[in-house]
Amino acid sequence: MRFTADDLVASVLYRDEAVLVLNKPYGIAVHAGPKGGVTLDAFLPDLRFGAPEKPQLAHRLDRETTGCLVFGRNQKALKRLGALFRDGLVKKSYLAIVCGRPQPEEGVIDLPLARRSHDKRSWWMKVDPAGDPSLTRYRTLGQADGLAVLALAPETGRTHQLRVHCAAMGWPIAGDRVYGGDRAMAVAPGLLLHAARIELPFYPGKPALRIEAPLPEPFRQILESLRMSLPVETILPGGQA
């Protein structure tokens, strides 16, 4: 998949003098990895919009995850955003299509996570009783044809947390080639996980910035096949980064 600077400029969801939020496309990495490929780094100068500095990432999303991605437009803003994410004050809400029918339909996944390998280059994770505490709230929004649409709210921000938690519960995210296997890949060729909303209490004394990202087309197509319509504003639970 090829990207241009114009594609990313068109995907900007929010911009002020300090903060920029992008609707990250599928298939673009936020940082260079061992497999190479296109990364956001190459396009950051094109997202300056007249600012003296290029924007810097305040957090990360997986290469295959779409949706809200936050940048600081200067060092002061980046430091402020970093503190908000670190202190768990940022609320993040995701949508996912999973293989299976979660029971109960709403609940909390409490499974500690650790790296699968001691190799620092590996990002793959596993459920491990000795791992870091990891909590995810979920709610089933609809079910059809052996699939379910979930709203997911991570209370912690572990690597691959939502993907590992869903797979461990027996309902992997559709299109997850790492944790979902053939069952997940039979539904979609790419991961159906979307960072649909983010809330940033960035400006003291003012309401939190609340940004929502439209669903990507592959996600929409499967929802249409399931005859589902999701008003994001009304169905997403809050959650912390």
Could you tell me the CA-to-CA distances from 158 to 15, 40, 115, 177, 186 in Å, in that order? Answer: 27, 21, 10, 19, 27
d(CA 148, CA 174): 10
Q: Is 62 a catalytic residue?
A: yes
Shortest CA distance to 195 belongs to which of 44, 58, 9?
Answer: 58
Number of H helices, E strands in the chain: 6, 12
The amino acid that residue 53 corresponds to is: E
Place of tokens 């990507």: 216
- Which is the catalytic residue, given 62, 119, 128, 145? 62
Beta partners for 195? 67, 94
**Residue 31: how many CB atoms within 10 A of its CB?**
10
214 three-class SS: coil
d(CA 38, CA 111): 33
Backbone angles phi, psi at 144, to 5 degrees: -170, 145
Catalytic residues: 62
